[in-house]
Amino acid sequence: MITKLLAALTKLLIGAYPYWRNNRPSPQQRLYFANHTSHLDTLAIWSSFSAEYRSKIRPVAAKDYWDKGGLRGLIAKRGLNVVLIDREGKSDDPLQPLYTALEQGDSLILFPEGTRSLENKPAEFKAGLYHLSQRYPQLELVPVYLDNTQRSLPKGAFLPLPFSCTVTFGEPLVCEPSWDKTEFLRQARQAVIALSQPLPSTK
């Protein structure tokens, strides 16, 4: 019930309209990686899928922020079924909850910047995305660009404003054998940035 309500409210308030470029929804296990400017980002991506797909797509979220009681905890745990990670260095491997989710067959939504950015372009990506791609080579790595979520819910705001937000999905990133970690993260970040640009005119 709460998942349907969250998806409906998100659509009503911000639209979260999905656009697929050279790609389309698939039951294939995927890791969706996106820019991060607002607490609405998770809901925008998650709600852009049909209920059939949402049931197997789990957002990755910071334990120190989302592992709370009240409405925040209700949304995270019962609504979105988030995978909580430790950002405070209290676990031996902060990626272990992601390994568990992936080995259960879930797809994930990840923000490789690690925190929200106020810039138009995403900040440099952290290494977690690379390590996951190496450990689970069967994963399709799908870049996502979110537009307008920061305007709808800027940092420090409590209630979203009714701006129309879009979610653009790109084609899966293919990791070349010659890429080291630095090049992989550069290419992944560039794949997200490229989705912020309009498609070339066909005229």
Beta-strand runs (E) in 2-79:
17-20, 30-34, 57-62
pLDDT of residue 130: 96
CA–CA distance, 27 with 54 (Å, rounded to integer): 10
Q: Which residues pair with 109 in a beta bridge?
A: 32, 59
CA–CA distance, 6 with 4 (Å, rounded to integer): 6
**Topology, domain 1-149+158-195:** Glycerol-3-phosphate (1)-acyltransferase (3.40.1130)
SS3 18: strand
SS3 157: coil
SS3 141: strand
Please list the rounded mean pLDDT of every run of 10 residues in the chain (203 residues). Answer: 85 87 95 90 92 93 79 82 84 90 97 82 94 95 89 63 83 93 97 89 55
* Angle, vertex CA 190, rays to CA 185 and CA 192, nearest 5: 100
pLDDT of residue 202: 53
Strand 57-62 vs strand 166-169: parallel, antiparallel, or unpaired?
Answer: unpaired
CA–CA distance, 49 with 80 (Å, rounded to integer): 13
42 close to 32: Cβ distance less than 8 angstroms: no
**N residues, the chain:** 203
